[in-house]
Homo-oligomer: A and B are copies of this chain.
Amino acid sequence: MRIAVLGTGMVGRAIAARAAELGHDVTVGTRDVAATRAGDWADWATAHTGVDLAAHADATADAELVVNATSGDGALPALTAAGEENLAGKVLLDIANPLDFSKGFPPTLSVLNDDSLGERIQRAFPRTRVVKALNTLTADLMTHPRQLADGDHTVFVSGDDAEAKKVVTELLTSFGHTDVIDLGDITTARGTEMLLPLWLRLYGGLGTALFNIKVVR
């Protein structure tokens, strides 16, 4: 599958590397290709020769699946740069959390309670099939879940389009996830985004990001 991963940070690189490893045709999207190449991208790219780099719009144009791996603040600008027309009809896996670090650590959320970043993206791009997922765990566990308790923990999908959730669930399963719970429509992204305050406190208390929640039932 042709996958565009928007975002060159830890999450974007982890998803891009894993998807390429699994045989997908992956292009990472960035705001400024030259600036990204001038940073530490070169070293990473050398170790991941199967992954291309392009401007957001170019990465998205012929992608079948688009991944939003930007920071919360960067999500709407990156998707706008990717282009409404380029995104139309496509599955968008949205991993971003609307974290607000302006008051220090732990961050608060800039969207919550009766709205979510997932919903904002869906409203801004109504022709795109937004699926919120993987925003509840660290990048290394998003892509390699079996390293923790042999994958015996839970991830979630939220979205209005059942077929899009199926596509994302199959991708997660190919990463090694064994328990993918479909929470319902995109408004259920409020629940997973609002898990972040608990996640951040656990991260502080446990001293590692290599944990996840399991829904025991």
Contacts and interface: CB of A to CB of B under 8 A. Distances in A.
Contacts of A182: 205
A148 B217 CA distance: 7
> Interface of chain A, helix or strand or loop or mixed?
mixed
Contact of A217 (B188, B194, B208): B208
A153 B216 contact: yes
Q: How many copies of this chain?
A: 2
Interface string A150-166: 00110010000000000
Given A183-B201, A194-B197, A108 B114 contact: yes
B198 A194 contact: yes
A198 B205 contact: no
A78 to B, nearest CB: 24
A214 interface: yes
A184 B204 contact: yes
